[in-house]
Amino acid sequence: MSLKIPEEEIMSCGNLACQGCGANIAMRHALKALGRNTALIIPACCWSVIDGPFPYSSVNVPIFHTAFAAASSTAVGVKAAFEILKKKTTVVAWTGDGSTYDIGLGTLSGSAERNDDMIYVCYDNEAYMNTGVQRSSATPAGAWTTTTPANYPKKNQKKDIISIMASHRIPYIATTSVAYPEDMVEKFKKAKNIKGMRFILIFCPCPTGWKYPPQFTVKLARLAVLSKLFPLLEIEDGIKWKLTKKISRPQPIKEYLQLQGRFKHLKEKDLKEIQDTIDMNWELLLKKLDK
């Protein structure tokens, strides 16, 4: 069986990512799907550093680095200019969860409401990793971060960014994972051929911030999907919800949690609470799915 992933490597090997970085795998596959006629807009996030220090760059497509809250707002200007110049370049805002869930959410909402023509990608590693693992509103309840110490871990649930985006009724939303590169490539290819605002959320485990050995990145990403924590979805026009990976025999969340240092302070009852929340979220999701 051959993989449905383009062979051409657009991104060079060798950059400043940590060992086992999920966001690195995400970029590699996104570019394979999108091709070279792509421009990346990158706000403050791990990828501000990963690409390489000036004058080096590792992606072989143009990058415009921008301010933390300015990913989609910079991207809409870039797209407008390409349109004026009659160039059909795919404009991609490539962002972390800090800019998507927190500081740039208002800006993202503005772009979504206007249906700006871009692919907005959030590689979600569930905290401010680039600044040293501080909690974001993408950090799951129960997790340790440097601003939610183990004796007072995060209380609040992770923000439901997918529902927020869906309520803007944008043409295309997808969730994907570094454990499923074919899914990732397929969704990016699909997104490329849609006009308007497209939002792709990529689940990107982070060995540095989640405190696990780097060889477990793909394993954790896979467990998150198989444990129903991170459903692989496509949503058209905000209303047609489709599960792209059915989970026939879900795994308990326990293994996923116990592989990571950020959850090691959790007691049995905490694990059960997390499992209950996952089950509840899944039930809610099933109700939204297009029959």
Partner 1 sequence: MRKLLIGNHALSYGAKLSRAQVISAYPITPQTEVVELLSEMCASGELKAKFIKVESEHSAMASLIGASAVGVRTFTATSSQGLALMHEMLHWAVGARTPIVMGNINRALAPPWSVWTEQNDSLSQRDTGWMQLYAQNNQEVLDSVIQAYKVAESIDLPAMVILAAFVLSHTSEAVEIPDQKKVDAFLPSYKRKYKLDPTDPHAFGGLTNTENYYELRYKIQKAMEKALDKWEEVGEEFEEIFGRKYGLIETYKVSDAKNLIISSATIASTARNAIDKLREKGEKVGLLRIRVFRPFPAKKVRGILNSIDKAVVIDRNIGFGASGIFYQEVKAAMYNEKNTPPIFGVVAGLGGRDVTSKHIIEIYEDTIKKNKPKSDIIWKGLKE
**Phi then psi dihedrals of residue 121, to 5 deg:** -110, 135
Nearer to partner 1 (CB atom), residue 79 or residue 228: 79
Please name the residues in contact with 199: beta carbons below 8 A apart, sequence gap of 6 or more: 112, 119, 120, 121, 122, 165, 170, 172, 173, 174
- Confirm if 151 and 163 have CB atoms less than 8 A apart: no
The least CB distance from residue 102 to partner 1, in Å, is: 15
Give 84: exposed, middle or buried? Use CB within 10 Å, 0-12, 13-18, 19+.
exposed
147 binds partner 1 (CB under 8 A): no
52 belongs to the binding site for partner 1 (CB under 8 A): yes
Is there a cis peptide before residue 55, judged by omega within 30 degrees of 0? yes
Measured between alpha carbons, how far is 123 from 176 in angstroms, rounded to an integer? 10
Q: Which is nearer to partner 1, 98 or 140 (CB)?
A: 98
**Which of these ranges, 51-59, 147-155, 226-234, 275-283, lies near partner 1 under the rule CB under 8 A?**
51-59
| HSE value, Cβ hemisphere, 13 Å, CA-based, for 185 | 17
**Is 75 one of the binding residues for partner 1 (CB under 8 A)?**
yes
Stretch that binds partner 1, among 31-39, 147-155, 201-209, 231-239 (CB under 8 A): 31-39
Position 37 contacts partner 1 (CB under 8 A): yes
Which residues, in sequence order, are bridge partners of residue 229?
Answer: none
Q: Is 60 in the site for partner 1 (CB under 8 A)?
A: yes
Please list, in sequence order, all residues whose beta carbon lies within 8 angstroms of the beta carbon of residue 250, skipping any fewer than 6 positions away. 226, 227, 228, 282
- CB count within 10 Å of CB 76 equals 21
Binding piece for partner 1, criterion CB under 8 A, among 46-54, 132-140, 219-227, 233-241:
46-54
Among 38, 139, 148, 227, binds partner 1 (CB under 8 A): 38
Which residues, numbered 93-132, are part of the site for partner 1 (CB under 8 A)?
106-107, 109-110, 113-114
Tokens representing 284 are 């809610």
Residues 163-222 that bind partner 1 (CB under 8 A): none
Helical (H) or strand (E) element with 91: strand 90-96
Considering the complex, state which of residue 68 and residue 282 has its C-beta at the smaller distance from partner 1. Answer: 68
User: Could you give the CA distance from residue 52 to residue 71 in angstroms, rounded to a whole number?
Assistant: 19
In angstroms, the CA 257 to CA 157 distance is 15
Q: Report, in Å, the least distance between residue 132 CB and partner 1.
A: 16
Which span (67-75, 120-128, 211-219, 278-286) binds partner 1, by CB under 8 A?
67-75
252 binds partner 1 (CB under 8 A): no
Residue (of 113, 110, 66, 127) closest to 92 by Cα position: 66
How many positions of this chain bind partner 1 (CB under 8 A)? 43
Shorter beta-carbon distance to partner 1: residue 81 or 239 = 81
User: What phi and psi, each to the nearest 5 degrees, are found at residue 202?
Assistant: -115, 125
Q: Could you say whether residue 48 binds partner 1 (CB under 8 A)?
A: yes
For position 6 contacting partner 1 by CB under 8 A, the verdict is no
Q: Among residues 9, 19, 67, 242, which is the contact residue for partner 1, using CB under 8 A?
A: 67
The CA angle 196-26-231, to the nearest 5 degrees, is 75
Report the residue from 45, 69, 225, 253 that binds partner 1 according to the rule CB under 8 A.
Answer: 69
Contacts with partner 1, residue ranges (CB under 8 A): 36-39, 41, 48-49, 51-55, 57, 59-67, 69-70, 73-78, 80-85, 89, 106-107, 109-110, 113-114
